Structure 1
Amino acid sequence: MKSPFIAIILALGAAFPVLADVLTIKKDAPKQYVVKKGDTLWDISAIYLNEPWLWPELWQMNPQIDNPHLIYPGDALALIYDADGNPRLVINKAYRKLSPMGRITPKGKDAITTLPLELIKPYLSFEQAINSDTIKEKPYILGANENTKTQTIDHILYVKGNLKRNQAYAIYHEGAPYTDPKTGEKLASRASYVGMARAFRAGDAANGEPASVRVESVKREIKQGDFLLPAMEGQMLPVYFNMHRPTQPLQGHVIASPREVREFSTMDVVVLNLGSEQQVEVGHVIDIERQSPKVIDGARGPRYTEDSSRLEKLVSATSELFGSESDEDSITWKMPAEKVGEMIIFKVYDKVSYALITKNQYPIRIGDLAVIH
């Protein structure tokens, strides 16, 4: 049985109007749905809507549901249409009276949530994407009071840099860079959280005196060269996530996964080569598309590129290079990209962002497109 998730609190329609969006109910949507333990508002909205991030409008102006965040397992929801023909979900109060299975559920911490924050919490707390030049400017660990590879609680670390006494610092390890798949540009470095420490000596780098910190918690091995940031730097997020489509076209790629795997599914986290420089925002809903394979139509008929002969591949490459398709015996067909999923941006940096996959028809892969047309 799933334990209740901490909710990401989404702004209701009153705070973030979505009146411009027209709700379309799925043809196979049920007239009534009974809430189960482990459901989220997103799950329920996805039963009725192809675009579940529009859930506030499905629930808004509903006199029976003062706060849709306070719906509980066992509640029966009915789909109705208001006087203007707009679909709405309401609680079927008669359900509990008529159903022998109905029972009163205590109202409290068991209210269903919107999205499972526990799934992205590690990436809010333990992952950052930081410019390598910025990392070079940060204080970093020189060594410890004991020559050991594993630093534990209460060990003392010596730091090159000036720190503030009594301030808490998060310790990060610089990992492999995130790179653009087309240009090879280094977009940012992955910074993984390894521990927390508190400064008790400020240090004087100009005179060769290191700062000193005492380790308060350890997530993984702390190494020489790991760098420090004030504990809350990069961890502040908005209380409300306004889920919406970007207003301008976008095109990027899925370039990495914090889990360092190559295929992903719903509720997995991926890294995109899109950031604030491309006007990406927290709460943006982005489509995931996959480029269909090219087909070379030659003397032996249509074949995928990998199944074609060397001559056909050479002719195809020459046609692409010089922009010519004059060879009637071999024509390369460039197939369209097709939608394979959706994701929500939840953390944004200058050139990269983290996204949570909310829907997928096929496994999502490194190299898939992140687009808005």
Structure 2
Amino acid sequence: MLKKFAILVTLIIMSGFFNVLADVLKIRNDAPASYVVKKGDTLWDISALYLNEPWLWPQLWQMNPQIDNPHLIYPGDTLTLTYDAQGRPRLMVNENAKRLSPGIRKTMKGGEAVSTLPLSMIRHYLTFEQALSEEKIAALPYVLGSNANVKNSVGDHTIYTKGVLEPGASYGVYRKGKPYIDLETGDLLGYETTLVATARAFRAGRDATDSTPIEAASLKVLSVKREIKQGDRVMPALDGQALPAFFVMQKPEFEINGTIIDTTSNLREFSKWDIVVLNRGSLNELKPGHMLGIYRNSPTVIDGKNGPVYVEDATKLQKMFKNFGDDTIALPREKVGELMVFKVSENVSFGIVTKTQQPIRVGDTIANL
């Protein structure tokens, strides 16, 4: 009997359906009448066959009465596009095309679950990468050295930190990386904080008192991604690292404007499924699952007596006195893509690009769809 792999959808719409239902669902002209689910498919990929905006997929599934969990489908299932009495489109599992009965199917859920979005692309950032303020980094315990009397520790070493830890608890060892700078204001928003190793504490350590000296905490190194250095910071392994069970994909209920300030790649331009860093975070009420548009400002034009010219093509005199006699016209900004916020800290967020009309660049703006 063929083994079935469940496609477990991690993007569900909870009680806040009004954000999704406010959008009119339009089926693509080239949408197939039916589709056989294949191993490796994601619901995002399948939805893209039917919708120009795949993140609106819950409207295709929410009224499906044929399966207990409309967010669980399997390779081999045949999906059929139908319309309800109100003319609303929906995808249904074609029971006549199933190889196993529904009762058997519910018990045959072996295999690795596959998420709706390609979470393998963002798992590293969900589970390891941090964006922390300088104050938070400075408050963390830090590595003093190791039992091997080397500057760079590796696996099987014992490392010692200044700070009180919990014996038996797992910790991540982090290194402060590049700064995240707000391109709009020049403000420092935080630092890239990258996991270099994992360790388990076996001595708590002790802060200094009037009667006792400082006692270093002790950790056994479990795994190493990079060599551990003196001064690296230590934080509980689960802090900011929980892989969310669900993303509630929705438009923000408030106006949001910001900028893409960095990317995890070193490329000048990037595209779908690339990771970007935004200069907005929880202090701006952003949440994982928020869908945002990516926009690019069109060039500014100086409409002078000799006709319109771009600013970069203007004469030195025009550039110096462009507000005196010549009309400066800022052309409208245009949408170049979409993204989903998936990890949020106070001043910074990570997003994954889900759609592009043009290559995305650092400096592009973000705003409501």
Name the aligned partner's letter for residue 85 of structure 1: G
Aligned pair partner of 2:348 in 345, 352, 356 = 352
1:329-344 residue pairs with structure 2 within 5 A? 330-344=326-340
Taking the aligned partners of 1:259 and 1:296, their CA distance within structure 2 comes to 35
1:114-153 residue pairs with structure 2 within 5 A? 114-153=116-155
What TM-score does the superposition give when structure 1 sets the normalisation length?
0.86
Identify unmatched segments of 5+ residues in structure 2: 100-107
The aligned counterpart of 2:44 is 42
Contact 1:252–1:274, Cα closer than 8 Å, also in 2: yes
Q: Deviations over 1:283-322 (max 9, x none)?
A: 1101111111112233443322222222222222xx2xxx
Name the aligned partner's letter for residue 342 of structure 1: E
- Say whether residues 1:234 and 2:240 are aligned partners: yes
Aligned pair partner of 2:87 in 80, 85, 88 = 85
Contact 2:165–2:204, Cα closer than 8 Å, also in 1: yes
Taking the aligned partners of 1:163 and 1:253, their CA distance within structure 2 comes to 38
Contact 1:129–1:352, Cα closer than 8 Å, also in 2: yes
SS in 1 for 2:199: strand
The aligned counterpart of 1:315 is 321
Contact 1:270–1:355, Cα closer than 8 Å, also in 2: yes
1:71-110 residue pairs with structure 2 within 5 A? 71-92=73-94, 108-109=110-111
Shift of 1:363: 1.1
Shift of 1:263: 2.1
Taking the aligned partners of 2:199 and 2:114, their CA distance within structure 1 comes to 36
Shift of 1:154: 1.7
Contact 2:9–2:71, Cα closer than 8 Å, also in 1: no
Aligned length: 352
Taking the aligned partners of 1:15 and 1:298, their CA distance within structure 2 comes to 51
The aligned counterpart of 2:249 is 243
The aligned counterpart of 2:296 is 290
Shift of 1:142: 1.3
Contact 1:271–1:353, Cα closer than 8 Å, also in 2: yes
Q: Deviations over 1:267-296 (max 9, x none)?
A: 111110111111111111011111111122
Taking the aligned partners of 1:361 and 1:264, their CA distance within structure 2 comes to 12
Name the aligned partner's letter for residue 10 of structure 1: L
Q: Deviations over 1:204-243 (max 9, x none)?
A: 2311322222211101121111110011111235422111
Name the aligned partner's letter for residue 211 of structure 1: A
The aligned counterpart of 2:231 is 225
Contact 1:296–1:333, Cα closer than 8 Å, also in 2: yes
Aligned pair partner of 2:364 in 363, 368, 372 = 368
Distance 1:5 1:185, change over 3 A: farther
Shift of 1:177: 1.6
The aligned counterpart of 2:102 is none
Q: Which stretch of structure 1 is more off in the superposition, 203-212 or 113-122?
A: 203-212
Taking the aligned partners of 1:337 and 1:307, their CA distance within structure 2 comes to 20
Name the aligned partner's letter for residue 218 of structure 2: S
Shift of 1:39: 2.2
The aligned counterpart of 2:24 is 22
Taking the aligned partners of 1:64 and 1:166, their CA distance within structure 2 comes to 47
Taking the aligned partners of 2:169 and 2:114, their CA distance within structure 1 comes to 37
Q: Which stretch of structure 1 is more off in the superposition, 230-239 or 31-40?
A: 31-40
Contact 1:70–1:111, Cα closer than 8 Å, also in 2: no
CA RMSD of aligned residues (A): 2.5
Shift of 1:16: 4.8
Distance 1:38 1:339, change over 3 A: same
Taking the aligned partners of 1:300 and 1:65, their CA distance within structure 2 comes to 68
- Say whether residues 1:264 and 2:270 are aligned partners: yes
Distance 1:205 1:107, change over 3 A: closer
Q: Which stretch of structure 1 is more off in the superposition, 251-260 or 276-285?
A: 251-260
The aligned counterpart of 1:177 is 179
Shift of 1:249: 0.7
Contact 1:283–1:345, Cα closer than 8 Å, also in 2: yes
Distance 1:5 1:353, change over 3 A: farther
Q: Deviations over 1:161-185 (max 9, x none)?
A: 1222222211000112211112111
- Say whether residues 1:212 and 2:213 are aligned partners: no
Distance 1:13 1:164, change over 3 A: closer
Taking the aligned partners of 2:8 and 2:267, their CA distance within structure 1 comes to 27
SS in 2 for 1:205: coil
Identify unmatched segments of 5+ residues in structure 1: 98-105, 320-325
Runs of 4+ in structure 1 over 6 Å off: none
Contact 1:177–1:190, Cα closer than 8 Å, also in 2: yes
Shift of 1:199: 1.8
- Say whether residues 1:52 and 2:54 are aligned partners: yes
Taking the aligned partners of 1:296 and 1:154, their CA distance within structure 2 comes to 65
Name the aligned partner's letter for residue 223 of structure 1: K
SS in 1 for 2:49: helix
The aligned counterpart of 2:10 is 9
- State, as a whole percentage, how many aligned pairs show the same letter: 52
Taking the aligned partners of 1:138 and 1:361, their CA distance within structure 2 comes to 42
SS in 2 for 1:157: strand
The aligned counterpart of 2:197 is 195
Taking the aligned partners of 1:229 and 1:283, their CA distance within structure 2 comes to 26
Distance 1:16 1:238, change over 3 A: farther
Distance 1:129 1:144, change over 3 A: same
Q: Which stretch of structure 1 is more off in the superposition, 277-286 or 251-260?
A: 251-260
SS in 2 for 1:190: strand
Name the aligned partner's letter for residue 233 of structure 1: D
What TM-score does the superposition give when structure 2 sets the normalisation length?
0.87
